[in-house]
Amino acid sequence: MDWNMEAEKRKDRLLADLFALLRINSVKDLASSEPGKPMGKGIAEALDYMLELGESAGFRTRNLQGYAGYAEYAPSESDDYVAVLCHLDVVPASGEWTTPPYEPEIRDGKLYARGAIDDKGPAMAAFYALKIVKELGLPAKHNVRLILGTDEEHACDCMTMYRKLEKPPLCGFTPDADFPIVRAEKGQINVKIILEAGEDSAAQSSRCEFYLKSFIGGGTANMVPEKAEAIVQGEAASLEALAVVFGTYCKEKGLAGRADREDGALALKLAGVSAHGMEPQLGRNAALELLHFLRRLSLQPDAERYVACVNDHLHGDCLGHAFGVAMSDDVTGALTINTGILQYIPGEESFFHLNLRYPACGTSSFILENISKRVESYGFHVDTPILKDPHHVPDEHPMIRMLQRVYEEETGLPPTLLSTGGGTYGALIPNGVAFGMEFPGTKSTAHQRDEHVEIEQLLQATAIYARAIYELANLDFDASEVGGWKA
């Protein structure tokens, strides 16, 4: 079977359908939530669009109260199925894009749009792969279900609902990471560290040279902040001197920043480099760099505690050393910490948010206990966390061996087994892995401005997925290899 030829035959239709999907702004928007549209109107529109495509292709479809949906190829009389899990929600399109993020455009063989690689492009590749299998009339022992999630970038409430309403698959993969095969994922902790406001008197604040009126950095937990701003009040002469010192700081550190006078205050603005929260070392956190500058100032007591705590534990350290939680193992690598949302506003909630990825050798309880001990001395407390356990499918599992063979034969590349700090749907199902869609040597643009996918790789992935789906649908399973929903 020439799977690449089958994908190439469907190129124009695939791209047309993908363009339409990419034009939908499917960022989670609870302000527009309503019954049947729990994640907001944009995500609901994207889900409806994909289910309509599924119906047109002759698949069995179901909308699960707007939380998720699926398109199923069901040649088998059994209700067992294998799964391909994709998500339709995207992160906000921050930063200055070359072309509008929801107006897809092809330039130099690359398709640019928010969601092109995370995860609408891969979702459409998987959809067309399933179409290839169906249209060729290939036999299948198991049904194949393309599951469409809506909340992967946040709390995965979509999969929580899916697990309540549907039986688990035999196994499956998600096209939401890297090729060859990601068979292990780090655990995750998402948590707010909240400042307990003190009783700063006017007299206390008056003894400080500057008053921090507000500090805002980032806005998405799993992204490295590329912008931050602090509004500082003080005497006119002090603010003038501060603007000069800030300019010198930016120049010395190689940072893009500026100081603007605004109504008797100084707005200190700093730009960094965004990156995915699972690899904070690849970005430059604008919020942490700005707080590092503010650490030298004489501020009101609450502001000084806020700045000190964040700076002392996170500036220049994304591995958890300052929190006493640094760790690593051979399967999943080192612990990483990203702080993607930071806010200090007197009289309102002041906090910083941690998006922490930890290896299989660690536990969330140990990590949270250590963080809590250290932030308490600065007057902070740890809010209720959202937790995700580490995940690992044994290397000898028949699905792993099959995917390795398919990948190697279709690409000629070694089928190395990988781990990731990212969280995918693969960790939420029994025997779940991530299988592409980013190829080795490709620089990821997920969660970044000018996100894109190479069209040649999109088609190659479609071919790989078509063959993998066919072979997965005919895989024999041992009872010991089939499990229920993961806890």
For residue 145, the model assigns a pLDDT of 98
Please tell me whether residues 46 and 64 are part of one structural domain: yes
Q: How many CB atoms lie within 10 A of CB 349?
A: 11
- Structurally, how many domains does the chain consist of? 2
Structure tokens at 20: 């339409």
- Give the predicted TM-score (pTM) of the model: 0.75
Specify which residues 355 forms β-bridges with.
190, 338
**Does residue 260 have a cis bond before it (omega within 30 degrees)?**
no
Is 237 within the bounds of a domain? yes
Please tell me whether residues 127 and 141 are part of one structural domain: yes
Please tell me whether residues 145 and 27 are part of one structural domain: yes
Which of 132, 3, 7 shows the shortest CA–CA distance to 456?
7
Please tell me whether residues 164 and 25 are part of one structural domain: yes
Structure tokens at 151: 């909340």
Give the model confidence (pLDDT) of 107-120 as tens digits. Answer: 999 999 999 999 99
In the structure, what pLDDT confidence band is assigned to residue 410 with cuts at 50, 70 and 90?
Answer: very high
Res 311 pLDDT > 50: yes
Give the model confidence (pLDDT) of 313-351 as tens digits. Answer: 999 999 999 999 999 998 899 999 999 999 999 999 999
Please tell me whether residues 233 and 143 are part of one structural domain: no
For the residues 421-437, what does the mean pLDDT come to? 91
Is 487 within the bounds of a domain? no
Average pLDDT of the chain to the nearest whole number: 94
Give the model confidence (pLDDT) of 112-158 as tens digits. Answer: 999 999 999 999 999 999 999 999 999 999 999 999 999 999 889 99
Q: Are 301 and 200 in contact (CB under 8 A)?
A: yes
Specify which residues 70 forms β-bridges with.
62, 147
Is 196 within the bounds of a domain? yes
Q: Which residues are catalytic?
A: 89, 152
DSSP E strands in 349-451: the ranges are 351-358, 380-382, 386-388, 391-392, 417-420, 432-434, 437-438
Give the model confidence (pLDDT) of 179-221 as tens digits. Answer: 999 999 999 999 999 999 876 544 455 678 999 999 999 999 9
The CATH number covering residue 8 comes to 3.40.630.10
Residue 88's domain comprises 3-186+391-481
Of 388, 417, 446, the one marking the end of a domain is 388
Res 384 pLDDT > 60: yes
Please tell me whether residues 377 and 411 are part of one structural domain: no
Please tell me whether residues 245 and 370 are part of one structural domain: yes
Please tell me whether residues 213 and 182 are part of one structural domain: no
Of 370, 388, 406, the one marking the end of a domain is 388
Please tell me whether residues 420 and 347 are part of one structural domain: no
For the residues 276-282, what does the mean pLDDT come to? 92
In the structure, what pLDDT confidence band is assigned to residue 358 with cuts at 50, 70 and 90?
Answer: very high
For residue 203, the model assigns a pLDDT of 46
Is 9 within the bounds of a domain? yes
